[in-house]
Structure 1
Amino acid sequence: MTAVTTYYLEMNSPSELIEKTNSKGLNLLEVRVDQFEFNRFLYQYIGGPWEWTDKLSLPDDEWKQYVENPNLRTWVAYFDGAIAGYFELLATDDGDTEIAYFGLSSPFIGRGFGGYLLSEAIKCAWQMPSTRRVFVHTCTLDHESALRNYQARGLKIYKEETE
C-alpha cells in the first residue's frame, strides 16, 4: 500500500492571491439552480481519475441536503460548450471558506486552464460574505501539478499528514 500525503493550504488575505488572468477562452458560470444530480455528475466526471470516492455512496437525500446548503456555491467552467472544470465553495459560520472541490476534466488538463480557474475560485471565495480565510486540501492522489498550482496562486501549507 502506498502512503498518501495530504496537504492543507490556506490564504488569509485577498492580497495574497497571485492571480493568473488569461482565461484562454474559458467561460465560468455560477450554478444558480440547486440540482444535486448535476453536482454529483460533476463530482464523478471531474474526480473520477483522481479517486474521489468519499461521496459516491451517498444516497440522493444526502446529496440533496449537501447541494441545497445555502453556504455552498458551485461554478462550472466551459470551453466551446464543453465542461472543462468546476469548483465548489463551502463557507462556514466562523469566516472560513473552503474550496471543497476543484478540478479540470481530463480533456482540458495540461492546456493552461488550471491557474486561471483556481484564481477565479479564490476570488469568488473572497467575495463570499464574511470570508476571513480561504482554505483547501490536496493529496498525492491528485494531479501532480495540483499542489504547485495552489502554491503558485499564493496558498500556503499550514499542515501536512501522511497515512
Structure 2
Amino acid sequence: MRLDGYTPVPPSHVAAVVTYLEMREPPPPRRHEPLPLASLGADIARYRALYAAIGNPWLWFGRARMTDDALLTILSDPDVEALALTEDGRDIGLLELDWRQPGEANLAYFGLVPEAVGQGRGRRLMDEALRRAFARPIERFWVHTCTLDHPGAVEFYRRSGFRAYARAIEVAPDPRLAGDLPRDAAGQIPLLGE
C-alpha cells in the first residue's frame, strides 16, 4: 500500500477508511424515559434480520459473513449484550456492547433502520449505550466506524463524547460478490467485479 497517493484495490474488493474513537470517562448523564429495548439473546434470525435492515444500505458485512454457530458463540457470551430498540412491535435499532476485553467496553454495533434516522432515537440509544457501558468498571469505551457507514457517524460519535485516536484502511472481498449480502445492497458503492 502506498502511503502517499492512490493504491489500487482489486475490482472484487471494497476499501474503507476506518476511524477508531474512544472515551475514558462518561459524559454527564441525560434523563430520558426508558427505551423499549429487547434482548436479542440467542435469537439469531431476529438478530440477522435487524442487522441486515440497518447494515445493508451501508454494506455492513462482519456479522453477515459469520456462520450461525460463530454468531451464537458471541451473542451467548455473558460479556456481550445485544439489544433491539423496538417501536410498535417492530425492531428499529441495534445496540451491541462487548466487555470481553478486561477494562474495556466496545460498542460493537450501533444503528437504526433508515426510516428511524434523524428523529432523536439515535441520541437516546447512545445515551443508553453510555449508561450501560460505564455501569461496569471500565477504563475506556471505544468504537470504530468507516466510510462505508452513515456519513454522519464520526460526527455523531464525537458529539456523544468520543475522541478519534486512530485510522486504518480496511480492504475486504465485496460481500455482494461473495454472496454475503444482496447484490443491490449499498447502491451508492458500485459493483466492480462482475
Q: Quote the Cα distance in structure 2 between the aligned partners of 1:99 and 1:27.
A: 18
2:105 alignment partner, one of 97, 112, 122: 97
The structure having more radius of gyration, on CA atoms, is 2
Q: Quote the Cα distance in structure 2 between the aligned partners of 1:115 and 1:134.
A: 17
Q: Quote the Cα distance in structure 1 between the aligned partners of 2:31 and 2:115.
A: 21
Q: Quote the Cα distance in structure 1 between the aligned partners of 2:55 and 2:102.
A: 28
SS at match of 1:101: strand
The corresponding residue for 1:13 is 25
Distance 1:59 1:32, change over 3 A: closer
Q: Cα deviations across residues 53-82 of structure 1 (Å, max 9, x unaligned)?
A: 122132221121111111110122123333
What code does the residue aligned with 2:19 have?
Answer: Y
SS at match of 2:71: helix
- Calculate the aligned-residue CA RMSD, in Å: 2.2
Flag the structure with higher helix content: 1
What code does the residue aligned with 1:151 have?
Answer: R
What code does the residue aligned with 1:49 have?
Answer: P
Matches within 5 A, 1:128-139: 129-139=136-146
2:63 alignment partner, one of 55, 59, 68: 55
TM-score for the superposition, normalised by structure 2: 0.72
8 A contact 1:97–1:133 mirrored in 2: yes
Are 1:84 and 2:96 matched, yes or no?
no
The corresponding residue for 1:27 is 35
8 A contact 1:18–1:119 mirrored in 2: no
What code does the residue aligned with 1:161 have?
Answer: A
The corresponding residue for 2:73 is 65
Are 1:144 and 2:151 matched, yes or no?
yes
Aligned length: 158
1:140 Cα deviation after fit: 1.1
8 A contact 2:41–2:75 mirrored in 1: no
Q: Cα deviations across residues 76-131 of structure 1 (Å, max 9, x unaligned)?
A: 2123333221110000242111000000001111222222211211211111x332
SS at match of 1:66: helix
SS at match of 1:114: helix
Residue identity over aligned pairs, in percent, reads 32
Instruction: Name structure 1 gaps, 5 residues minimum.
Output: none
Are 1:44 and 2:58 matched, yes or no?
no
Instruction: Name structure 2 gaps, 5 residues minimum.
Output: 1-8, 171-194
